[in-house]
Amino acid sequence: MTRVQRAWCVALLLCTPLTACEEEGASGPGYVYPGMQGGYDQGGTAGAPGYGPTMPDQGATFAPPDDGTAPPPAGDGGAVPMDGSGGPVGPPPPASADPTFASASSAGGFTFQSYASPPTGAYAAGTIYHPDGPGPFAVVAIATGWLEAPLDGWGQFLASHGFITMAFEVNNNISDPPTARATALVGALDMLLAEGDRAGSPLAGRVNAARQAVLGHSLGGGAALHAAKSDGHRLRASVALTPCASPSCSDPPDVAPTFPQVTIPTLIIAAQNDGNADTDLYGWPYYQTLTNARPRMYAEFAGANHFIANEPSTGTDAARYVLSWLQAYVNDDVRYRQFLVPDGMFSRFDEVAP
């Protein structure tokens, strides 16, 4: 039994439906978390990422912060282009109010809608979240980890910041390895682009096919790295959250994949006390093989566990990093680069500029 499987078995034994599982903040299938009724509950333990801040209800609607920092849903002009990002360049997204640390860590100013993805063989089921407004908007596919429910919290959070997203469940959440989840990520992007071209689709004419990205947690984080390796020609960024890219998160790894083929902007979020995907065996070695990714960043949160970033409300600093990376390198919005700085909360940090 792998490290991830052991942790989830404990979680499933200790938890019952409609209760919050306390095993390292785990989110398993069918569990509903308290709070998050209409917006992020910021009442978690301050300065303690991954230690049990309130997690979002899967069906909640994220509301903009009330501090006046949230960007409006549309405007004139666009973001400043930046050289060095991967993928073709499409039209810029709508301009927004200048972002702040608070606005980059909280739900954004876009209202959004959702609908079930049309059926496909690439993944079992998915939910598409799309901002209100004409667009076109960048697209992000979001992969889940072992036995995790779809990461709808990330789908909603990013939609509130102007991304079209799909959070999906893989075909076999027990046995699908990261490479299969990478195939699902690419299939989800294909579906989003097809929906943008389909007459009568809620996304018709609103998808920016030139701005695509992938994101995932745990085995899904490994999938994001594999997708960047296999399909980087179509992607502008990849984000791997506490990733395991091996066929199983065994200890030691059964296979040690490398990623020198990746050339797109790649962010790895890691956790110092990750008991499921040990950073010394997984995240940090992966990062060291990203020798051709420009830019690249490794941010390891001190004292945090495997679930520091499986939902944006688990660690709002992680949410800020993920959003800022996607805004800076998918939407070419250089204003967000100011939030990608080490500020004493990391046990290990490294970056290579564009």
Averaged pLDDT for residues 31-53: 27
Q: How far is it, in rounded angstroms, from Cα 321 to Cα 116?
A: 28
Residue 59 burial (C-beta neighbours within 10 Å; 0-12, 13-18, 19+): exposed
Note the pLDDT of residue 94. 58
Residue 25, pLDDT > 70, answer: no
Q: Give the pLDDT mean for 127-145.
A: 96
Cβ distance 259 to 274 under 8 Å? no
Q: Please state the domain count of the chain.
A: 1
* Residue 47 belongs to a domain: no
| Continuous segment of H or E residues that includes residue 130 | strand 125-131
Q: Is residue 125 part of a domain?
A: yes
Going by pLDDT thresholds of 50, 70 and 90, the confidence category of residue 251 is low
- Beta partners for residue 169, in sequence order: 125
Q: How far is CA 151 from CA 236, 250, 312, in A?
A: 21, 23, 9
Residue 131 lies in a domain: yes
Which of 87-91, 175-179, 193-197, 346-350 shows the lowest per-residue confidence on average (mean pLDDT)? 87-91
- pLDDT exceeds cutoff 60 at 295: yes
Determine the pLDDT at residue 255.
76
Whether 175 is in a domain gets the answer yes
Residue 85 lies in a domain: no
- Amino acid (1-letter code) at residue 107: A
Is residue 197 situated within a structural domain?
yes
- CATH of residue 302: 3.40.50.1820
Range of lowest pLDDT (59-73, 193-207, 227-241, 326-340): 59-73
63 belongs to a structural domain: yes
pLDDT for 29 beyond 80: no
Q: Is the pLDDT of residue 277 over 70?
A: yes
135/20: higher pLDDT: 135
The residue that leads in pLDDT, 312 or 36, is 312
pLDDT at 186 over 60: yes
- In a domain, residue 311? The reply is yes
> What's residue 201's pLDDT?
96
Domain span holding position 236: 3-31+54-74+94-352
Residues 211-239: tens digit of each pLDDT: 999 999 999 999 999 999 999 999 999 99
pLDDT band of residue 32 (cuts 50, 70, 90) is very low
- pLDDT of 305 higher than 60: yes
| 16, pLDDT greater than 60 | no
Type of residue found at 304: A
